[in-house]
A and B are shown apart, each in its own frame.
Chain A
Amino acid sequence: DEEFNDLCFEFGLELDEVTSEKDIISKEKGQEKAKGASETVLYKIDVPANRYDLLCLEGLVRGLQVFKERINLPRYEKIIPAQGEGQRLIITEETAQVRPHAVAAVLRNITFTKERYDSFIDLQEKLHQNICRRRALVAIGTHDLDTISGPFTFTAKAPSEIKFKPLNQSKEYTASQIMDLYRTDSHLRHYLHLIENKPLYPVIYDSNGVVLSMPPIINGDHTKISVKTRNVFIECTGTDLTKAKIVLDIIVTMFSEYCEKPFSVEAAEVVCPNGKTHIYPELAYRKEKVKPDLINKKIGISETPSSLAKLLTRMCLTSHVTGNGNNLEIEIPPTRADIIHACDIVEDAAIAYGYNNIQMTVPKTYTIANQLPLNKLTELLRLDLAAAGFTEALTFALCSQEDIADKLGVDISATKAVRIANPKTAEFQVARTTLLPGLLKTIAANRKMPLPLKLFEISDIVVKDPNTDVGARNYRHFCAVYYNKSPGFEIIHGLLDRVMQLLQVPPDEENGYAIKATEGSAFFPGRCAEIFARGQSIGKLGVLHPDVITKFELTMPCSALEINIEPFV
């Protein structure tokens, strides 16, 4: 187990869990139900999101064996049947509105066993979840070729005109009935919306009118494959042609291993509405040239070109040295759609070398560092505020609408708050426009602490601002609250004076700061003042209104101060 864990770690996989079917059932349903279940050891392996070739056992084992140099990477071959003998899939123009693209291929004389069959179905599901984005981009259909006869037609029809027996059902349904049938199905109901409201639904027929499938929902029962199936017709339909091609390539490269002629795939012809024909699967091999020097320099190693070629070959990127020994030619197989740039090749070379074998060095980059002035000011103030006897709090930037509006006696439209479109709970509806609710909620959660409770926070608030490139901006606010049996307005006022003293802002209306009595809906009438710095309003202080206290589930008087500190940077 440990050895396998280390191998996975080196290769870039994560051995998540070592378990067994019995363990899984035990955890989910209890030990009673688990009796009699298989105790064979199961490895749960986490595969990186861009490696579609490692999603099934066949691909994973193949990849690891090439990595350990036990086998050479097989060569995937496309066999193009003689004119008129191959399968054809004709796409009509109606599909353009709902699901325009399709690709197809045939696996000839394949031998399935129970494990291989399960793996085949499993891979389709994994691809559906991963690159197909839950069937929205691509949907895969696999059919027993011996039960149907081509040429096949991929078209789109009104729901009432489509009628067939879906997979594992006992009678025929129209497409609209199928939508209703699977509305409660835990697995399929998530895909209904992809075509439900379209005027035409996609459907694939054979030359006798037998329905192969209605992508992306369900295949027909007629063509279902079993362990005994010998010839498989694969069709991938979707809205993204590039991904459909990749998906098809992956399926055929993985499972052509079990064909009579291993690793050979029979090509099929797809005819587009405009008359153009394409042969699929593409199974393209791409050649890239990369200088060994580049690879060595990017990683920080110095390997000879031939040793680099060997490392890359171990990663399924067959390479050899060319030129005068100073260039590498790398062949990228159809299973490695994740190789998009030379840096992907560099990464694979590094993985084969072993990340933990690379010597760790520190760059000789000489720089003179600076702290961001706003953050520097914040850090300085924090220390002194703590010295003044206040305790720092760190609260959430997201809160409910009531927190910044109703509970403070303000209308939400006046707050210029940034609103979240998809909050999971009401606690995250808006981004805070004031630090006050956060501090009041903190007090409410700490009512049992000895009085007085003196809290402060210096952190960002968010407001809408049409002058920024995104339409909103942050302001660094400082907020302090004093919660005790008596409101302590003089204490909060004293704190403001202390902060101004630290900022070296004199108590002068023109050149410094001043406070003027005002009314504030969150404050007690007659106990509220606005703070001005060099003529600009920067915030308020005062005794909180009893309504506010109650709405935040507090019971004692409270005075508060909140200002914007950005003008002082």
Chain B
Amino acid sequence: FSEMPTDNFVESSFWNFDALFQPQQHPARDQHDTFFLQDPAEAPELPAGYTAKVKKVHAQGGYGSQGYKYEWRLEEARKNLLRTHTTSASARLLYRLAWQEKFAPGKYFSIDRVFRNESLDATHLAEFHQVEGVVADRGLTLGHLMGILRQFFSKLGRAGWARAGAPGGSPGLPSPPSLPTGITQLRFKPAYNPYTEPSMEVFSYHEGEGGSWGIP
């Protein structure tokens, strides 16, 4: 997976929401969930042709979609904010890929900071990091997505164990069967996301943690 550039905390509503088919009346665009900017308040530049296409799909539909059928406003898309997910960087990447002369498959990832306007408590911060992955190819299926997620999670547990210092073992030796081998027990649940369809949430079970299903 190649690393995507994500070095922009400030993003326009266009890339953060509109280009991702999140309607302008969506609650996530509310004052309570997103940090909107006072200065610079608006993005001076939006990709002209692409903006027109996004407007059309929201307001009237297109590309096989019924659309949301509401009045899409440019001023709303211009509003600057601190990005609420790194998916805005993925959107920019996909836009650039679309301009390639010839399509070439690619796998991309990023790990970077995002911002949500929430009150702080034991499990919520206003700033946190997200891991994002994109695979672009022909003939991809939901089964592939689930397969990649399983591979990803299975690597998580093992790394944690190795850091703790395995008794008498070095990374080169195969781990004895009694030691934890990563998070492999996954269950997928249908979910809703404005910009992914089909969507799912992943629940994992890890014996070491005293075993409880939750979104990792």
Q: Do A and B interact with each other, yes or no? A: yes
A residues at B contact (CB < 8 Å):
9, 11-12, 14, 48-51, 133, 137, 240, 242-243, 297-301, 339-344, 346-347, 350-351, 355-356, 358-363, 365-367, 369-372, 374-375, 396-398, 418-424, 428, 431, 460, 462, 464, 466, 468-474, 476
Q: Select B137's contact among A363, A471, A472, beta carbons within 8 Å.
A: A363
Set of chain B residues within 8 Å of A370, measured between Cβ atoms: 2-3
Contact B144 A418, beta carbon cutoff 8 Å: no
C-alpha gap A342/B198 in the complex (Å)? 11
Set of chain A residues within 8 Å of B44, measured between Cβ atoms: 466, 469-471
Contact B147 A360, beta carbon cutoff 8 Å: yes
Contact A424 B197, beta carbon cutoff 8 Å: no
C-alpha gap A339/B192 in the complex (Å)? 12
Set of chain B residues within 8 Å of A341, measured between Cβ atoms: 63-66, 197
B107 at the interface (CB under 8 A from A): yes
Contact B189 A372, beta carbon cutoff 8 Å: no
Set of chain A residues within 8 Å of B9, measured between Cβ atoms: 397, 431, 460, 462, 472, 474
Please encode chain B, from 127 to 142, with 1 for each CB lying within 8 Å of some chain A CB and 0 for all others: 1000000010101111
B38 at the interface (CB under 8 A from A): yes
Set of chain B residues within 8 Å of A418, measured between Cβ atoms: 10, 37, 39-40
Knowing A137-B25, A424-B117 are in contact, say whether A355-B137 is a contact too (CB < 8 A): no
Knowing A242-B70, A460-B9 are in contact, say whether A469-B2 is a contact too (CB < 8 A): no
Nearest chain-B residue to A362 (Cβ)? B147
Nearest chain-A residue to B78 (Cβ)? A470
B180 at the interface (CB under 8 A from A): no
Q: With contacts A347-B190, A375-B3, A474-B8 known, what are 15 further pairs, Cβ within 8 A?
A: A9-B187, A11-B190, A355-B190, A367-B2, A397-B127, A398-B127, A420-B36, A421-B38, A422-B35, A462-B9, A469-B12, A469-B43, A470-B11, A472-B8, A476-B7
Contact A367 B142, beta carbon cutoff 8 Å: no
Please encode chain B, from 38 to 73, with 1 for each CB lying within 8 Å of some chain A CB and 0 for all others: 111111111000000000000001011111111000
B119 at the interface (CB under 8 A from A): yes
CB distance from B33 to the nearest CB of A (A): 10
B91 at the interface (CB under 8 A from A): no
CB distance from B77 to the nearest CB of A (A): 12
18 sample A-B contacts, Cβ–Cβ < 8 Å, listed by A number: A50-B192, A341-B65, A346-B197, A347-B190, A347-B197, A347-B199, A365-B105, A367-B106, A367-B107, A369-B1, A372-B5, A396-B127, A397-B113, A419-B38, A422-B117, A468-B8, A471-B40, A473-B8
C-alpha gap A455/B79 in the complex (Å)? 37
**Dominant SS at the B interface?**
mixed
B82 at the interface (CB under 8 A from A): yes
Set of chain B residues within 8 Å of A476, measured between Cβ atoms: 7
Knowing A340-B67, A342-B64, A367-B105 are in contact, say whether A298-B117 is a contact too (CB < 8 A): no
Set of chain A residues within 8 Å of B80, measured between Cβ atoms: 470-472
Contact B36 A470, beta carbon cutoff 8 Å: no
Contact A350 B142, beta carbon cutoff 8 Å: yes
Nearest chain-B residue to A360 (Cβ)? B147
Set of chain A residues within 8 Å of B5, measured between Cβ atoms: 372, 374
Q: Select B141's contact among A9, A300, A469, beta carbons within 8 Å.
A: A300
C-alpha gap A464/B190 in the complex (Å)? 41
B97 at the interface (CB under 8 A from A): no
Nearest chain-B residue to A338 (Cβ)? B192
Greatest chain B CB density within 10 A among A339, A346, A363 is at A363
Q: Select A420's contact among B46, B70, B82, B197, beta carbons within 8 Å.
A: B82
Q: Select A460's contact among B7, B118, B119, beta carbons within 8 Å.
A: B7
Knowing A133-B25, A362-B147 are in contact, say whether A48-B191 is a contact too (CB < 8 A): yes
A-B contact count (CB 8 A): 203
Contact B38 A428, beta carbon cutoff 8 Å: no
B151 at the interface (CB under 8 A from A): yes
Q: Select A363's contact among B12, B65, B140, beta carbons within 8 Å.
A: B140
Contact B135 A365, beta carbon cutoff 8 Å: yes
CB distance from A520 to the nearest CB of B (A): 25
B residues at A contact (CB < 8 Å):
1-5, 7-12, 25, 27, 31, 35-46, 61, 63-70, 80, 82, 105-107, 113, 115, 117-119, 126-127, 135, 137, 139-144, 146-148, 150-151, 187-192, 197-200
C-alpha gap A299/B200 in the complex (Å)? 13
C-alpha gap A367/B142 in the complex (Å)? 20
Q: Select B192's contact among A48, A301, A350, A362, beta carbons within 8 Å.
A: A48
Set of chain B residues within 8 Å of A474, measured between Cβ atoms: 7-10
C-alpha gap A133/B117 in the complex (Å)? 19
Contact A362 B142, beta carbon cutoff 8 Å: no
C-alpha gap A11/B192 in the complex (Å)? 12
Nearest chain-A residue to B203 (Cβ)? A9
Contact B25 A360, beta carbon cutoff 8 Å: no
Q: Select A470's contact among B10, B61, B141, beta carbons within 8 Å.
A: B10
Nearest chain-A residue to B30 (Cβ)? A133
Contact B45 A469, beta carbon cutoff 8 Å: yes
Closest 5 CB pairs of A and B: A300-B143, A300-B141, A12-B190, A471-B40, A347-B198
CB distance from B149 to the nearest CB of A (A): 8
Nearest chain-A residue to B213 (Cβ)? A9
CB distance from A267 to the nearest CB of B (A): 22
Contact B188 A464, beta carbon cutoff 8 Å: no
Q: Select A374's contact among B7, B82, B126, B188, beta carbons within 8 Å.
A: B7
Contact A361 B144, beta carbon cutoff 8 Å: yes
Contact B8 A470, beta carbon cutoff 8 Å: yes
C-alpha gap A347/B190 in the complex (Å)? 8
Knowing A9-B189, A351-B190 are in contact, say whether A362-B144 is a contact too (CB < 8 A): yes
Set of chain B residues within 8 Å of A423, measured between Cβ atoms: 35, 117
Set of chain B residues within 8 Å of A355, measured between Cβ atoms: 142, 146, 188-190, 200
Set of chain B residues within 8 Å of A464, measured between Cβ atoms: 39-40
Knowing A341-B197, A363-B137, A398-B126 are in contact, say whether A470-B143 is a contact too (CB < 8 A): no
Nearest chain-B residue to A395 (Cβ)? B127
Set of chain B residues within 8 Å of A297, measured between Cβ atoms: 139, 141
Nearest chain-B residue to A474 (Cβ)? B7
Contact A428 B35, beta carbon cutoff 8 Å: yes
Set of chain A residues within 8 Å of B115, measured between Cβ atoms: 397-398
Set of chain B residues within 8 Å of A431, measured between Cβ atoms: 9-10, 82
Nearest chain-B residue to A344 (Cβ)? B197
Greatest chain A CB density within 10 A among B9, B43, B66, B105 is at B9
Set of chain A residues within 8 Å of B69, measured between Cβ atoms: 242
Nearest chain-A residue to B149 (Cβ)? A360
